[in-house]
Structure 1
């Protein structure tokens, strides 16, 4: 049974492709410990895409942020690049494309997604997020 109390975790990661695996495994542990095992597979996919984009397309550090509140799981990735993400294509239109699938998967699998510019500790960047809701 998922917890009813809100909680939030932030995992800061270096600009290193291994950060994607660390983020995915950490997310699985967090969700399992909070009784949200039913969201793990989809949440892992979404977090993988968000963190991979942050690491692949920027040069600075990044962070995975996971928040639970009122039956909504928000997964987000912060990175130091203030440029907005490219709008996602329709997943069905990507065919065998090797790039551009990340945000298309996020849009297809999440209940809601978006991005916002951020300033953190005097550094500019952006936060790309998505939400999964649990069945009531």
Structure 2
């Protein structure tokens, strides 16, 4: 996957998908990894951005209607990744814990299969993961028919501005 546009203040579309697109998170990860690699981002920034976008496209596909779009935009000081869907409602943002979001809950220890299931559940942790990976530099904005979730990618990339 290769985007053919300049990375500038105008958003560059990296990938589009619909509700019928198979294996959305994997395709989004591949598209973003390719785009950021072409821009010369370091491995750590790419890995964090790819994991964050995987969570966001999963949420968009699971909880909102399409079509969907992933974009990159460059400002004077940063590169921003955006994921847009066609549901203008901003989701309820979970309270972020003071401790790491991956710590096991003591109330789920030694409680049998039900407690084990609660401890292993994947649901509800995605935005916590995005928050950690972006060091809190992410958010939402809404328009009449769409919602965009965005996050900042640390700008440790080379001088290239073409994708």
State TM-score, norm by structure 2.
0.68
CA contact (8 A) 1:6 1:70 kept: no
How far did residue 36 of structure 1 move? Answer: 0.8
Please state how far the C-alpha of 1:93 moved relative to its aligned partner.
5.2
Say whether the 8 Å CA contact 1:62–1:79 is kept in structure 2. yes
Shift of 1:29: 0.6
Secondary structure of 1:27's aligned partner: helix
Q: How many residues align?
A: 128
Which runs of 5 or more structure 2 residues have no equivalent in the other structure? Answer: 1-5, 105-118, 157-163
CA shift digits 1:107-136 (9 cap, x unpaired):
1111411101124xxxx020011112236x
Q: Of 27, 30, 42, which aligns to 2:32?
A: 27
Instruction: Tell whether the 8 Å contact from 2:139 to 2:149 is kept in structure 1 after alignment.
Output: yes
Of 6, 9, 12, which aligns to 1:9? 12
SS in 1 for 2:146: strand
Report which of the two has the higher share of strand.
1
The question of whether the paired residues in 2 share the 8 Å contact of 1:32 and 1:40 is answered with yes
d(CA) in 2 for partners of 1:68 and 1:29?
17
**Matches of 1:86 and 1:17, distance apart in 2:** 27
CA RMSD between the two structures: 2.3
Q: Distance in 1 between matches of 2:82 and 2:39?
A: 18
Q: Does 1:55 align with 2:80?
A: no
* Structure-1-length-normalised TM-score: 0.80
Q: Which has the larger radius of gyration?
A: 2
- Which ranges in structure 1 are unaligned for 5 or more consecutive residues? none
Structure with the bigger RCO (C-alpha within 8 Å, sep 6+) is: 2
CA contact (8 A) 1:89 1:100 kept: no
- For residues 18 and 33 of structure 1, do their structure 2 counterparts lie closer, same or farther at Cα, with a shift above 3 Å needed? same
